[in-house]
Amino acid sequence: MKKIYVFAICAALALVAVMSVFAASFTDIEVGEYYSDAAQRMAARGILDGYGDGMYHGDESVTRAQLAALICKMLGKTDEAVSLAGKTNFTDVNEDAWYTGYINYAVANGIIIGDGNGKFRPDDYVKYEEVVKVVVCVLGLDEDIEIDPADWSKEYIEAAKSVKLLDNLIGEKGTVMLRSDIAVICDAAMTLLDRAVGENLVSASEVETTTAKKNTSNAAATGSAKTTSAPAPDETTTATTRENQLPMITF
């Protein structure tokens, strides 16, 4: 099993967050729904919340801004992100928007960047394969991935399958990912983290590593494709990963 190195920065948070009692049930999730337990566990950890009306809204799509917030929460970096709220470097992000801190943190740490044209596109929906890529990269499972220029997402999906991240998802490649599937894949990712920490497979000393990735295609500008269409392959997924410096995820 490959080392899950990046998540070690929040190992202590993850262990504390494992709760024996779920958060209150969401009123719009029926008993036995495939994502019910996952949504409740993620709510209990403070990673995924409802809409303040007692409902989860599992059939809704997820935006780039929401994904930035989600990853910050998974990494235990909510406080740092909130402290960065305000002005961003993007022309399409209002400095009063709720997600500015998450975007600033995500960009500063190379988690997600803009489209290369001065925009972040915070309201664009993210596709199934894009979320898979983010989770794979944050878990550090992309170390040996070689991008296929004909299908940039293929190897990320295979990496996710290899650790059973996708076993219980109902979405598919090419479609926007719904909040129901987001709960399931995040729950699976956090389970991997818990297992790694419990088996002493990761430690703070293993956080520092170097990951170098380069696509075989240089034709498309980094992150130029809109989230609502198939994104161009990344020009690079290169980072010297330290406690506050994570692999580059560009779309």
Reported as a single tens digit per residue, the pLDDT across 191-216 is 998 887 776 665 433 432 322 233 33
Reported as a single tens digit per residue, the pLDDT across 79-127 is 999 999 999 999 999 999 999 999 999 888 877 878 888 999 999 999 9
Q: How far, in Å, CA of 107 to CA of 10, rounded? A: 19
Q: For the chain (length 251 residues), average pLDDT per consecutive 10?
A: 44 41 71 93 88 88 93 91 95 96 90 84 94 88 88 94 96 96 96 78 38 31 32 29 36 43
Q: How far, in Å, CA of 233 to CA of 14, rounded? A: 32
Positive or negative torsion for Cα 240, 117, 133, 28: positive
Q: How far, in Å, CA of 80 to CA of 76, rounded? A: 9
Q: How far, in Å, CA of 56 to CA of 104, rounded? A: 26
Question: Cα-atom radius of gyration of the chain, to the nearest Å?
Answer: 17
Structural contact between residues 238 and 250, judged by C-beta atoms closer than 8 angstroms: no
Type and span of the H or E element at 241: strand 239-241
3-state secondary structure of 62: coil
Nearest to 109 by CA among 86, 143, 132, 138: 138
H helical segments located in the chain: 11-17, 36-44, 64-74, 78-83, 100-108, 128-138, 154-162, 179-198
Look at residue 41 in the predicted model and tell me its pLDDT: 94
Position 87, amino acid:
K
HSE, side-chain direction, 13 A CA sphere, residue 208: 1
Q: How far, in Å, CA of 203 to CA of 11, rounded? A: 8
For residue 108 the two structure tokens come to 């500063």
Look at residue 109 in the predicted model and tell me its pLDDT: 82
Q: How far, in Å, CA of 198 to CA of 139, rounded? A: 16
Nearest to 101 by CA among 125, 69, 135: 69
Look at residue 52 in the predicted model and tell me its pLDDT: 76
User: pTM for the complete prediction?
Assistant: 0.71
Q: Which residues contact 162 (CB under 8 A, 6 or more apart)?
A: 141
Q: How far, in Å, CA of 85 to CA of 102, rounded? A: 7
Question: What 8-state DSSP symbol labels residue 1?
Answer: -
Q: How far, in Å, CA of 1 to CA of 187, rounded? A: 19
Q: Which residues contact 97 (CB under 8 A, 6 or more apart)?
A: 65, 122
